[in-house]
Structure formats: structure tokens, C-alpha cells
Amino acid sequence: GAGVSQSPSNKVTEKGKDVELRCDPISGHTALYWYRQSLGQGLEFLIYFQGNSAPDKSGLPSDRFSAERTGGSVSTLTIQRTQQEDSAVYLCASSPGTGSTEAFFGQGTRLTVV
Amino acid sequence: SQKIEQNSEALNIQEGKTATLTCNYTNYSPAYLQWYRQDPGRGPVFLLLIRENEKEKRKERLKVTFDTTLKQSLFHITASQPADSATYLCALGSFNKFYFGSGTKLNVKP
């Protein structure tokens, strides 16, 4: 597609359930990022993938959060045993990679844990 | 850890005036700094990037300055228009990994 695509756009889940959020980056982009944005707040870095290198997971808030990127393209962010404080907008971005740091963001997935 | 500060209060200006937004940071030496625009319900959109060895960058009505001694960036929109109303985020980075400030909301009144 022409831009970064995220699905679902909205997700309501019950506390304790697992959720999977999907990100389709721009074709050919080697870098992929996940950020979290709580209401009225800035973007909180979660995880960064660059090509075939080991991902930088330093921003993941707990071991309930994990992410993978298959074939250097699509990425899935998984939150296990969701808590109410996990409610936020989860944003994915991709970038051409080394030499170009402009990031292209998707529309985000609004996660609500009830 | 790094700390990035943007004015949390909204900036209200009159159409045609210059808007100036500030981004201050501590505990970090970024290789570059970016500014993004975010509209409600949308993802951020890239505007400008300035590297640590650059003092100023311009693009149309936008100008960014980067003072690594003061650890500050200023973002200017000249001849502002109501369509410029949005939240503006600064992001500091090194090696393709970057951290965002919380953003400043700009309201341009006609």
C-alpha cells in the first residue's frame, strides 16, 4: 500500500485477555517502530526493528508485551493478560532505514481495556 | 534517562503572526532532531529534520533551529494560518531510534 497500515483501528478487550495488533509497513522500509500514546501524552517508545538485526526492546514496559516482525515486513505487537493501564493508542511507523530517519506513521490502533 | 520538554500549555496566536514552539532536552546528545505535526485521531506527520552539526533548516514557511549548547530547538511557522492548528511534536534521535516530547498544541485564530 501507499502508507503504513495498522489493524484493527479500534479494539475493546476485557481485562486479562490477550490482544494482537498488526502493522503493515511501507514496502521496502527496513526500520519499523512501535510507540504508545496515552490520552494527551507524547509518544512512548516501545520497540524498534532494523532489518535482520536483533530488535531493540528497551521500551517494552513489561514482559506481557512482545513483538515480532516476520520476513522483514509485517509486525505484530502482542499484549498478554491486558490491564486497564494498557489502554492507549498504539502507533506503528516505518522508515527507509540507514541514512534516512523520517518516519511514516500509521493511523494507530486505539486499545481500550475494560 | 533522556528528558524532552515541550510547553504543555496551548499556544494561541492570530492568523498571519509567527508561531514559535520550543523543545528542550536533558541527559541526551542527539545526532538529530525532528519535528512532527499531529492532528486529532491521526498519526504524526514528519515536517523537518535537523542534524547536530546544523544550526538552522528551512522549508517553505517552517524554520527550525538547533542549539546543542543550550540543548534546545525552536520551531517557527511564519505567516501562520488556521490550517496550521495542530499539535507539534519534537523527537530526538540517534542511530534511527528516537524519543518524542509530549507536544505543544497550536491554535491559530482567524
The CATH number of residue A79's host domain is 2.60.40.10
CA–CA distances in Å: residue B48 to residues A5, A27, A56, B64, B77: 23, 22, 25, 8, 12
| Residue A99 pLDDT class (50, 70, 90 cuts) | low
Q: What's the confidence (pLDDT) of residue B10?
A: 93
Q: What's the confidence (pLDDT) of residue B31?
A: 86
* Residue B62 β-bridge partners: B59, B77
DSSP letter at A100 equals B
Domain limits for position B63: 3-105
- Domain membership of residue B38 (yes or no) is yes
- Please write the tens of the pLDDT for every residue from A11-70: 999 999 999 999 999 998 999 999 999 987 889 999 999 888 889 999 999 999 999 998
Q: Number of structural domains, chain A?
A: 1
Given an 8 Å threshold on Cβ–Cβ distance, is A42 in contact with B89?
Answer: yes
- Please write the tens of the pLDDT for every residue from B49-65: 999 899 999 999 999 99
Q: Which residue has the cell 520551531?
A: B75
Do A55 and A88 meet the contact criterion of CB atoms below 8 Å apart? Answer: no
Do A74 and A100 meet the contact criterion of CB atoms below 8 Å apart? Answer: no
- Domain membership of residue B75 (yes or no) is yes
Which cell goes with A86?
A: 494498557
- Domain membership of residue B110 (yes or no) is no
Given an 8 Å threshold on Cβ–Cβ distance, is B96 in contact with A4?
Answer: no
- Please write the tens of the pLDDT for every residue from B9-58: 899 999 999 999 999 999 888 888 999 999 999 999 999 999 989 999 99
As a whole number, mean pLDDT of residues B70-82 equals 96
Which cell goes with A58?
A: 528497551
- The CATH number linked to B44 is 2.60.40.10
- Domain membership of residue B19 (yes or no) is yes
Domain limits for position A86: 5-113
Q: Which residue has the cell 512501535?
A: A34
- Domain membership of residue B30 (yes or no) is yes
- Residue A100 pLDDT greater than 70, yes or no: no
CB-count exposure of residue B96 (10 Å: 0-12, 13-18, 19+) = buried
Q: Number of structural domains, chain B?
A: 1
Residue of B nearest to A41 (CA): B102
Closest-CA distance, B20 to chain A, in angstroms, reads 19
- B103 to chain A, any CB pair closer than 8 A? The answer is yes
Q: Which residues of A touch B (CB under 8 A)?
A: 4, 31, 33, 35, 41-45, 48, 50, 56, 91, 93, 95, 97-98, 101-108
Q: What's the confidence (pLDDT) of residue B3?
A: 87
